[in-house]
Structure 1
Amino acid sequence: MKLLNTETKNNVLTSMAEILDRKRDAIIKANKKDLDAFQIEDQALFDRLIVNNKKVDEMINAINSVRLQDDPVGQEISNRTLKNGLNIVNTTAPFGTILIIYESRPDVTIEAAVLAFKANNKILLKGGKEAYHSNIILEKCWHDALSQNGLSKDWIKLLHLKREETQEFLKNPTEPLDLIVPRGGERLIEFVKTHATCAVLVSGRGNNFLYVSEKADWSKAVNVIINAKTDKISGCNALDKVLINKNMPEYETKLEMLQQKLEQYNVEIIADKSVSQQLKTVNEVTQDRIWYEEFLALKLLIASVDNMEEATAMINKYSGKHSAAIITEDKNEALTFMNNVDSAAVYHNASTRFTDGGQMGVGAELAISTDKLHHRGPLGLKQLVTNKYYVFGDGHVRT
């Protein structure tokens, strides 16, 4: 796809915001068809599917936010002239064609496309069948915005492929692919990594941990745990595991207080052997694999640890390397924890629910990357470019 100037790209985004506002009733009506057809017993997936007036407003706000951001393409990273006279300029450049594969969430059809397009990338959207009607009308909105500004509809395109067809497309793409972003559970990620023939940037699962130090303010700990667990259970930044230092003052009493608070929010508690002996009414963990699970439900695993080193080791072994938090009043302890935990985002006395592009000041996000190469954390506009060297000479030859 050709390199577009900033004005042209922003004009498309202005048109898109206006179209979404004008067609909001039709969008919500199309979404209702998907909601009515939804037959899977998965509350998190259903929650992600819903489009209402608030969600349309969020889509429009995402588009306007990206429109107001600086164009990430053509930004100079470095510029130096060597002793031999060669001028070497390193600048940002588009990836080319990005494929994103995702489930439910029609808002991804907006946020992924607006980011990719502003960064001058073509984007292929492989949404889930549960959001078919929602995605169809949103793609039509994009095509109207592109057409109004004299651009090809190929910039933003939905792929309607079954699993076997997707597998074949990944192995033998019918058009050049430069980057694939699988946004979903481990099965989806493994499927893409197994079959893709180009770069894959993993938007990993959550399975987020929180460690409560013996030096914690207990009131802060409880408030953060409740927010991180119950604010939005379908979010990949929701809390799944809590590790509590058994050496804290009034440990048993505080455990019981936490249980009572969680039960007020209808949170199912499971626990390791030590905690389950203290909290008689909770189920004990019987299989190791549950430590690796992302719950996406009102469910929380609570375990005891002897110290921060044990907590850190458990987090690095079992977590999805997405977000992890420590609750402590000791800043040096917090920094040690944050330096040693292997996660894309680490928190001191704060909820994991802040691992989000908008909350972190990035704006709209394509995904939360748990990979270490290219970028880690929220993938915003500035992260959807690569780099390119421009070398200027005057008949230079290497000797």
Structure 2
Amino acid sequence: MSTLLSIEKRNSVLSSMAVLLEQERANLKTINQQDITNYSGDDLAMEKRLLVDDAKIDGMILSLQQLASQEDPVGQVRFNFTHENGLKISNKTAAFGTILIIYESRPDVTVEAGGIAFKSGNKILLKGGKESLLSNQKIVSLWHQALTDNAVSNSWVEYLNYDRTETQAFLEKPTQKVDLIVPRGGENLINFVKKHATCPVIVSGRGNNFVYVNAEADLDQALAIIINGKTSNISVCNALDKVLIDVNIPDWEVFAKKVVTELQQRNVTILGDSTISKTTNVPEIESDLIWFEEFLDYKIVIGTTNSDQDAIDKINTYCGGHSASIITKNDAVAQQFMDNVDTAAVYQNASTRFTDGGQFGLGGELAISTDKLHQRGPIGLQHLVTNKWYIYGDGQIR
């Protein structure tokens, strides 16, 4: 592990990187077009994430500027204690050491996740997907220039141009010390990393989010939240996949039909449980297993429930542990729901699309964790640290 860089050095590298991205904007877009031309897949969500346009570059630059202005996450005192024998004991945040980020198709991760890991005092290993190789190599060359310009070793940011076999070998027997792995991508990628990794992995990126429309919901709000959650961006993990409608809503059938009509107008494929299918004529689900699925597509499942507890139980059985929202004017009912639903983010009267580090005031995110250790939900700069105990004595023995 390299010696911890001063916060001034770290900020200076991030600021240099922001300037270089602006200078190399045209070149980066040209190189990215080559990646897009080479991409032969038919995964729309993947292609959308692969594109680097002006808006994406603006986002990368902004994230670096914000990171450079944020407080140092390392060395924050979390606990202080003075022992009766005079020992001064404190617990402070500390860098992990080396973080490996494995991701698919998103060159912006090379900047944003790399920046968060670097700002929090870590060496970064980047393993991007083959579909974005040229874009990633260009961005890493800019990282190296930013490091060199600040008299910092290039070894702080390293790109691993490995195929699947080489990646598996590295996960099982790393050729250098790795303290934490963050996979960002689909379930296949996450399962692959979990299966082969020999060090801690933060699992992120799986959604399957629920909205529960309670008997005391504002139905106009509910409709707008469902439409936004499902259709504003299908390719993200905070998109909506499941809706539960309380049959205690007065005229719930009218509301259900309205939801179906509005979604169909936006080309969403709708499946329903037997009650919804009979009421609205949408196809009935073939198996309850579909409740476990994340779609990342214009597809949704709508079901009915007859009590708050039933809704809570259903969500806890099937959801991905990411986000769940209750639509209700009854704050006590909402609180009960929010305290008992087992997801990283719980909402009252709002879209699950807000589960995001930038939206939550973290200034960006490394990942959205559905694990409970060591941080849950959006992982920002201040969470990408471990901790360390400092004990100051004067000859004390036990």
Shorter-chain TM-score category? Answer: over 0.9
SS in 1 for 2:304: strand
Give the Cα separation in 2 of the matches to 1:43 and 1:297.
Answer: 9
2: CA distance between counterparts of 1:297 and 1:283?
17
Counterpart in the other structure of 2:240: 239
Following superposition, the deviation at residue 217 of structure 1 comes to 0.7
Answering whether residue 12 of structure 2 is matched by residue 14 of structure 1, we say no
1:192-207 paired onto structure 2 within 5 Å: 192-207=193-208
Aligned partners of 1:285 and 1:37: how far apart in 2?
38
CA–CA distance in 2 between the matches of 1:155 and 1:226? 43
Match of 1:128 in 2: 129
Q: Does 1:298 align with 2:321?
A: no
Query: Which residue pairs with 1:171 in the alignment?
Result: 172
- The 5-angstrom pairing of residues 50-199 of structure 1 reads 50-199=51-200
For 1:263 and 1:204, how far apart are their aligned partners in 2?
A: 27
1:270 CA displacement: 1.1
CA-CA distance at 1:342 after TM superposition: 0.4
Deviates more, 1:325-334 or 1:161-170: 161-170
Q: TM-score, normalised by structure 1?
A: 0.98
Structure 1: segments with no counterpart, 5+ residues: none
Letter in 2 for 1:152: S
Q: Report if aligned partners of 1:204, 1:320 keep a CA contact under 8 Å in 2.
A: no
Counterpart secondary structure, 2:182: strand
User: What is aligned with 2:259?
Assistant: 258
CA contact (8 A) 1:122 1:156 kept: yes
* Alpha-carbon separation, structure 2, partners of 1:33 and 1:310: 51
**What does 1:206-221 correspond to in 2, within 5 Å?**
206-221=207-222
> What is the distance in 2 between the residues matched to 1:93 and 1:76?
10
Percent identity, aligned pairs only?
A: 54
Find the counterpart in structure 1 of residue 340 from structure 2: 340
1:373 aligns with 2:366: no
Q: How far, CA to CA, are the matches of 1:143 and 1:307 in structure 2? A: 57
Aligned length: 397
> In the alignment, residue 139 of structure 2 is paired with which amino acid?
L
Secondary structure at 2:237 match in 1: coil
Aligned to 1:394: 394
Letter in 2 for 1:265: R
**Matching residue of 1:328:** 328
Note the C-alpha offset of 1:105: 1.2
Q: Secondary structure at the match of 1:346?
A: strand
Task: Say which SS state the counterpart of residue 358 (structure 1) adopts.
Answer: coil
Tell me the TM-score normalised to structure 2 length: 0.98
* Paired residue type of 2:284: E
How far off is 1:187 after superposition? 2.0
**Secondary structure, aligned partner of 2:111:** helix
- Structure 2 stretches lacking a partner, 5+ long: none
Q: Runs of 4 or more off by more than 3 Å in structure 1?
A: none
